[in-house]
Amino acid sequence: MNNLQETWVYLSSSPLLHLTLTLVAFVGANTIFRKLKLNPLANPVLISVVLLVGLLVITDTSYQTYFEGAQFVHFLLGPATVALAIPLYRQFERVKKSAIAIVVSVLFGSCAAILSAVAIAWVTGAQTISVISLAPKSITAPVAMGVSEKLGGLPSLTAVFVILTGICGAMLGPVVLNVLKITDWSARGLAMGVASHGIGTARALQINETAGAFAGLAMGLNALATAVLLPLVWRLFFS
């Protein structure tokens, strides 16, 4: 008991507290996810976010204070993204055979993601700054925030849209693909990677390695395509 108390005193006075809480929240959320037989509606990322936000609100902890500890997890996003090259390497021959189809699919998917987001925002009467912030929602957060800032959007708002898009894609993507009777794992992976970036890719990897490999490829290509296409689309149609 004394050791436990000493550990708590140490953690509560250091950034490691929030790192520990983040890891505990995710382990708990992942346990719930597995207990529910990998039900997509019990997405562990969503559950973790809800738990952590609730805790920060209850304890009146600022995001800056929380991030002092959570930044260690944030740092690992880079190596985790690079690690996606491993399943992709295993599918390299298949990727080569489908190279043209992949490029065309990603380009159309990128345009669809941009135009649908902009259209929905305009129809609902959103302000221009909100429209810009929403447009790159389907690509990974660092790239999306950079593109948004360059066009005059709010990077912080873009980050929120990106996270929500990823969670919704991971939760509903497999369900929609099942309804549409899309059974090819490479096609399913491409769809998940284009529509819901890293969170969708992680979900695809949980389901099937081929789907995860193609999702990781689509996530990278979509980030590149959106970074190039969005400024052009914006200047052509909205500036």
Question: Could you give the CA distance from residue 161 to residue 113 in angstroms, rounded to a whole number?
Answer: 13
Domain closes at, from 75, 110, 138: 75
Q: Quote the CA–CA distance of 44 and 42 in Å, as a whole number.
A: 6
Domain count, the chain: 2
| pLDDT tens readout for residues 64-97 | 888 877 777 777 777 777 777 788 888 888 888 8
Listed residues 75, 107, 129: the one ending a domain: 75
pLDDT tens digits, one per residue of 104-122 = 999 999 888 888 888 888 8
Assess whether 36 and 55 both reside in one domain. yes
Q: What is the mean pLDDT of the chain?
A: 84
Instruction: Output the pLDDT for position 191.
Output: 92
Q: How far is CA 168 from each of CA 9, 69, 70, 80, 217, rounded to the nearest angstrom?
A: 38, 27, 23, 21, 20
Q: Which pTM was predicted?
A: 0.78
User: Is residue 53 domain-shared with residue 133, that is, in the same domain?
Assistant: no
d(CA 56, CA 63): 8
Residues 114 and 70 in one domain: no
Domain membership of residue 181 as a residue range: 80-239
CA distance 157 to 132: 10
Same domain, 114 and 155: yes
5: pLDDT strictly greater than 80: no
234 shares a domain with 118 = yes
Boundary (domain end) residue, out of 24, 44, 75 = 75
The pLDDT value recorded for residue 125 is 85
**Do 150 and 189 belong to one domain?**
yes
Question: Which pLDDT score is estimated for 198?
Answer: 84
For residues 116-143, average pLDDT: 86
**What pLDDT is attached to residue 4?**
56
- Judged against a pLDDT cut of 80, whether residue 16 lies above it is answered with no
Clarify whether residues 39 and 115 are in a common domain: no
Residue 10 has pLDDT above 80, yes or no: no
Tokens of 138: 């389907």
- Asked if residue 44 has pLDDT above 70, the reply is yes
Residue 57 and residue 41 share a domain: yes
Distance (Å, whole) CA 203 – CA 194: 13
